[in-house]
């Protein structure tokens, strides 16, 4: 998806992507997902977010990413997660956020990181996480988002991505 200005998903019950080899979004300005109850990403090889301006997740109950090895976020201006209760990261090899200026976690019930080898956050403008219900990242391999301006998830019932490879 190149130079997509706005992607809006309201009241989506189920979005399933199985056996996808590569997902790359370049120069996306707005991705909006409201009222997401479950976001599941299984067997994803890499998650890369370059030049992301805003990532907003409101009222997300569960975000799961299985078999996560590397998460990269470069030039991220704002990442906001509201009302998240649990953030769990199992067997994460590398998490890198470049140019991060602020990381804020408000009203977090649980933050768990198991078997994390490296967590690096450099010069990010704003990362805000408060009242998140559940965010689970484990054994995910690769998801690439380049030049994304805004990512918002609200009112999405289920987003499922299985067997996501590079």
DSSP state string for the chain? -BS--EEEEES---EEEES----EEES--EEEEES-SEEEE-S-EEEEEES--EEEE-S--EEEE-SB-EEEEES--EEEEEEEEEEEEES--EEEEESB--EEEES-SEEEEES--EEEE-BBSEEEEEEEEEEEE-BBEEEEEES--EEEEES--EEEEES---
- Give pLDDT, residue 164: 44
- Give pLDDT, residue 55: 74
Q: What is the pLDDT of residues 13-48, one digit of tens each?
A: 666 555 555 556 666 666 666 676 777 666 666 676
- Give pLDDT, residue 81: 72
Q: What is the pLDDT of residues 3-14, one digit of tens each?
A: 566 666 666 666
Q: What is the pLDDT of residues 127-138, one digit of tens each?
A: 666 666 666 665
pTM of the predicted structure, to 2 decimals: 0.51
């Amino acid at each position: 998806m190149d130079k997509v200005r706005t992607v809006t998903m309201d009241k989506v019950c189920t979005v399933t992507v199985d056996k996808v080899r590569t997902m790359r979004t370049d120069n996306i300005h707005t991705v909006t997902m409201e009222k997401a109850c479950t976001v599941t990403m299984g067997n994803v090889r890499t998650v890369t977010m370059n030049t992301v301006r805003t990532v907003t997740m409101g009222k997300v109950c569960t975000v799961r990413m299985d078999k996560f090895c590397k998460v990269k976020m470069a030039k991220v201006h704002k990442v906001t997660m509201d009302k998240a209760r649990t953030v769990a990261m199992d067997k994460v090899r590398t998490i890198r956020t470049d140019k991060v200026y602020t990381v804020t976690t408000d009203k977090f019930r649980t933050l768990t990181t198991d078997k994390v080898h490296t967590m690096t956050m450099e010069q990010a403008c704003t990362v805000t996480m408060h009242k998140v219900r559940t965010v689970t990242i484990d054994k995910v391999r690769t998801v690439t988002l380049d030049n994304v301006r805004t990512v918002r998830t609200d009112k999405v019932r289920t987003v499922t991505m299985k067997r996501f490879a590079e």
